[in-house]
């Protein structure tokens, strides 16, 4: 594969993720991806024989991996899970604010539509959420929580962030995410505190 071809493949996936974040799956057509990425039309089925569904799928996986990488790094740094989870909220807040509250989560964009013709999209979204939950749960277990409680908290944190990001976009304010961050922070401090007995 020539470097140029590989570039246009990568650019199309990055453009798809950017469009998903801002315009949702409904607003992410192949035409719009070509316009956004500047890739030649002929490259679509060359690079993505599965068409638009494959493009969405790869964008979800790329964005999911990118965020999982940031989360893993934060979770390993300093070994303070509360601080790391605070930082995960800060990351989402920055993504919202820097886009003027226009851009949300590309995984959610795909997850809110039932795609009977492309069931792999829901599976890809589920596997991103699972990956994030594992990254959140592992340090909570290392700090003494049971696997069950850590898993429950990890699912809850991902849910609270994803829901809050959606609310922030339509309210044009970070208040819902700040509310979730503050409540989760206090909850984690409480959950990780050594039992008094």
- Please give the residue ranges that form the binding site for its own copies (CB under 8 A): 22-27, 102-104, 108-109, 111-114, 122-123, 125-126, 129-130, 151-153, 155-156, 158-164, 166-167, 169-172, 175-177, 179-180, 182-183, 187, 190
> Residue 36 is inside which H or E element, if any?
helix 30-37
How far is residue 140 from each of residues 25, 120, 151, measured CA to CA in Å?
A: 34, 30, 9
> Closest CB to its own copies among 135 and 160?
160
The residues near 65 (Cβ < 8 Å, ≥ 6 apart) are 131
> Which tokens hold the place of 64?
């999911």
State the Cα torsion 183-187-188-191 to the nearest 10°. Answer: 180
> Closest CB to its own copies among 42 and 196?
196
Min. distance of Cβ 1 from its own copies in angstroms?
Answer: 32
**CA angle 176-181-184, nearest 5°?**
120
> Closest CB to its own copies among 13 and 108?
108
Min. distance of Cβ 40 from its own copies in angstroms?
Answer: 25
> Closest CB to its own copies among 83 and 127?
127
> Which tokens hold the place of 22?
């801002």
**How many other CB atoms are found less than 10 A from the CB of residue 137?**
23
Min. distance of Cβ 159 from its own copies in angstroms?
Answer: 3
> Closest CB to its own copies among 73 and 175?
175
Min. distance of Cβ 126 from its own copies in angstroms?
Answer: 4
State how far the Cα of 43 lies from the Cα of 34, in Å rounded to an integer: 9
State how far the Cα of 34 lies from the Cα of 178, in Å rounded to an integer: 36
Min. distance of Cβ 45 from its own copies in angstroms?
Answer: 21
């Amino acid at each position: 594969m020539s470097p140029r071809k590989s570039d246009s493949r990568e650019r199309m996936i990055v453009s798809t993720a950017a469009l998903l974040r801002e315009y949702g799956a409904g607003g992410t057509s192949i035409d719009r991806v070509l316009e956004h990425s500047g890739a030649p039309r002929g490259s679509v089925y060359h690079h993505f024989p599965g068409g638009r569904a494959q493009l969405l799928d790869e964008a979800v996986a790329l964005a999911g991996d990118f965020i999982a990488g940031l989360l893993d790094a934060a979770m390993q740094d300093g070994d303070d899970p509360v601080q790391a989870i605070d930082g995960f909220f800060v990351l989402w807040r920055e993504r919202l604010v820097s886009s003027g509250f226009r851009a949300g989560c590309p995984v959610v964009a795909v997850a809110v539509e039932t795609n009977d013709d492309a069931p792999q999209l829901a599976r890809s979204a589920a596997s991103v959420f699972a990956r994030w939950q594992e990254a959140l749960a592992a340090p909570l277990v290392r700090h003494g929580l049971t696997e069950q409680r850590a898993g429950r908290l990890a699912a809850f944190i991902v849910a609270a962030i994803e829901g809050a990001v959606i609310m922030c976009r339509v309210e044009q304010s970070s208040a819902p995410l700040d509310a979730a961050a503050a409540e989760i922070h206090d909850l984690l401090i409480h959950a990780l505190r050594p039992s008094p007995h």
